[in-house]
Amino acid sequence: MDIAQVLADFGDWAFDRHANVLSWYIRPLFLLPLAWFAHRRSGWGIAGTLVALATSIFWFPAPAQPDPRVLEFLDFERKWLTGTWDLQKVAQAMLAPLALTAYCTAFWRRSVLWGLALLNVMAAGKLLWGVVVGDGSAWAMTVPALVGLLICDAAVLEGLRRLRARRERDASRPAPRPLASSTATS
């Protein structure tokens, strides 16, 4: 068994399924549970969400008639991934894990506004990368990316609103009385 052929076959299978735009619409939504688990400081939740994010490209069946613009972008991505790797490409590839780390760190430290800012920077960066490096092929992912970004922004802002409301509610409650000591003093 040739491992290179197995990997190539798996790549073909995955990219065929990734042409289903449903995967393009759901992938940004994984940033919501990622923020939630980081805020809750759940390493297992973060790890599980990252595995789901990474595998979600092949959750849906390959489309019978893929969009030619989608195929153009996926062809760009495949060529980029399988092309020559130099220092610049390594630096570009490191941006995604670094951005996700910063995103998780922001929510871990309960800095929801920084997390929201990073969410928007990551989305803009992905689109910009596809347009600039991909020679304009990223326009195929613009609508799914923007829809996902709007949903994520709205959800994070709603979460922030609820968090502030809970803090205000908790601050307005009287402090509980200390329990009387059960040991007698002499």
Check residues 168 and 106 and name the one with the higher pLDDT: 106
Q: Per residue in 98-130, pLDDT tens?
A: 999 999 999 999 998 999 999 999 998 888 877
Q: What distances in angstroms separate CA 131 from CA 23, 125, 137, 177, one per listed residue?
A: 20, 10, 6, 61
Determine the pLDDT at residue 94: 92
Half-sphere exposure of 163 (CA within 13 A, CB side): 14
**For the chain, domain boundaries:** 3-171
Long-range contacts of 154-159 (CB under 8 A, 24+ apart): 155/32, 156/32, 156/35, 156/112, 156/115, 156/116, 156/119, 157/116, 159/35, 159/112
Model confidence band, residue 22 (pLDDT cutoffs 50, 70, 90):
confident
What is the percent of the chain where pLDDT is above 70? Answer: 94
Determine the pLDDT at residue 77: 84
Nearest CA to 34 out of 90, 99, 124 is that of: 99
Q: How far is CA 150 from the centre of its chain?
A: 13
Determine the pLDDT at residue 181: 61
Span 80-101, average pLDDT: 90
Return the amino acid letter for 169: R
pLDDT tops 70 at residue 85: yes
Nearest CA to 78 out of 135, 4, 134 is that of: 134
Determine the pLDDT at residue 1: 67
User: 84: part of which helix (H) or strand (E)?
Assistant: none
Determine the pLDDT at residue 171: 81
Of 14-23, 46-55, 60-69, 171-180, the least confident: 171-180
Determine the pLDDT at residue 131: 77
pLDDT tops 70 at residue 184: no
